[in-house]
Structure 1
Amino acid sequence: MTTRKQTARTARIHVGIGGWTFEPWRGTFYPEDLVQKRELEYASRALTSIEVNGTFYGAQKPASFIKWRDETPDGFVFSLKAPRYATNRRVLAEAGDTIERFFASGVLELKDKLGPINWQFAPTKKFDPEDFERFLELLPAKVEGREIRHAVEVRHESFCDPAFVALARKYRVAVVIAGDSKYPQIADVTAPFVYARIMGTTEKHAKGYSKAALDRWAERAKAWAAGGSPDDLQTFGEPAAKAVPRDVFLYVISGHKVLNPAAGMALIERLNT
C-alpha cells in the first residue's frame, strides 16, 4: 500500500513510524504467527515510509541497506537519522569528517528508497547562528550524483528565531516539525519538502489519536503537499511563498508507541480518500 494522494507534480505524502522492531507490536500490528525476519516486509506494505533510528547510534553495513531496499515495495522510502557524532558536539563546524563517513557507509545502496536525512540535535543544543550556518554548509546537496534531502530536528527554544528559519531556507533544509510534543514547534516551511514527527498518541484512543486529531494532521499534510502551509501551526519566520507541490514525510513517533502503526494507517486511509 502506498500513499498515492498526489498533486499534478507527483508530490507524495509518505506516512510511517520509527523503526519496525518493537515487541509490543506483536499481535497488535504484526500477526502473531509472522516470523520476525518478515516484519519489515509486512510494515512496508501497511505504511509508506519508516524512519530508521539505528543509524543515529552507529554505522550500518552496506548489506543491510541493500536488504532493506530489496524487501520493500516500489515507492517506499526510508528516512535515516544521521549519526549523533555529527550533531552532539560543541562545535558543529567540525562535523565534516563524520558527515563524509556517513555518506560513504552504504546509505546510497537504498537508491530511490533513500528519503531525507534527519540531523537530530540534543534538547540542550542552543542556536549559534554562525556555527549552525557552518554546519549547514557541510551538508551535501548531492552525493555521487544523487540528490540528498536534509532536515534538522532542533529541540531548544533558542531556535524559535526568525534568523534560524532564514538560515534553513537559505540552504533549503527542512525544519522538522515537532507535533504534539514538549519540544518547540517550528512549522515554517523552509525546503522543497516537509518533514513532520507527531508525538501525541495515547492509549485513550484505539488508533492513538482521536478522529478529529487524525483529520487535522491529514489536512495539514494535504496543505503542505499542495504547496501551501496550514494556518493552525506556529511559525517564526517570514511566511513561505506559495510553492510547487512538495513531498511530505510524516512520522508517528514516541507517544503511546504500541498504537503508532494504527495511527499511521489511519492517516493513510484519510489521505487516500
Structure 2
Amino acid sequence: MTLIASSEWYASSTLWTTVTTSVVALSVGALAAWATLRSTNPKRRLSYHLRENVALLDIETHAVRLSVSHGDTQLRSPRIVELVVKNSGRRDITSAQFHDGDPIVFDLQSRVVALISVSAPSTTIAPEPVVDATKLLVGPSLLKSKQEVSYTMLVDGEVEDVRCTAPLTDTHISRTTEDGDRLPPPLVKILGGIAVLGIFLFASEFVEKFIPLQGRAPEQHLEWSQIRQCAGLPEVTSIDQCEDVQKVLRQPGPPAPTP
C-alpha cells in the first residue's frame, strides 16, 4: 500500500497547530481552576519533625562509669528528643476536626520516660499532651494557622522514626525536615516530569522525522516503510529528500555475469 505524504492527516500543519493550541488552553484552564479552588478552599495541613534526638550517654564509653536514672529506675539508653508539631496550613485546626474526639498519636517506638517541657508562642495556647508508654497523645485542641508547638521528652531507647496517626478530617499530614521540606520528595511530581520530558522528546523526533518540512506534489508517493527508513538518516529532513534517496536505492545494479 502506498501513502500520499502531503495528504496524510499527520502532515497537516493546521492540525498540529490546533492540537497544540487546544492542549495549552486546556492546561492553562486546569491550572487556573486548581488555583481558584485552592485559594477559596485552602486545605488544612499538619507537619511534624524531630528537632533534637540526642543520646545522653555513649553506651560503649560510659556504660560502666556513668548511669542515668529517673526516680528509682535506671535508664539503659537515655536520650533527649524534641518533637515539633506545626499547623503549616492557612486554616486553623479546631477540636471539631478531631474525629470522635480522638487525639493525634506520635509513636516514638521507645519508652517515653517523662515529658520535660512544652513550648509555643506566647500568643497561642499549646495543646497539652499525654504520655502513654512509647506514645505522645496530643489534642483534641486548637492549633492556630502557622502555630508551632515543641514537646521535649526524656526517652529510654533508640528513636529512629516517629509514626504519626492523626484522626483529623480534611487535613493533610506530612513529616518534614526542620526547614519545612517534605519527606520523602513527592514521587508523583518526579514521575510527571519524566513523563512530560519523554512526551516532548518523542514529539520532537516524530515532527522532525515523519512530518514533511517542505511541500510536495500530490502525485508523489512513498511507502510507509520507506519513510521509516529515511527517519534513520540524519541528513534527510524532508519528504522530497526521502524520495531522492529512494530513487537512488531503486537504481538497478550492474548486470550479473553470464555463466
Scaled by the length of structure 2, what TM-score is found?
A: 0.19
Pair member with larger Rg: 2
Q: Which is richer in strand?
A: 2
Scaled by the length of structure 1, what TM-score is found?
A: 0.18
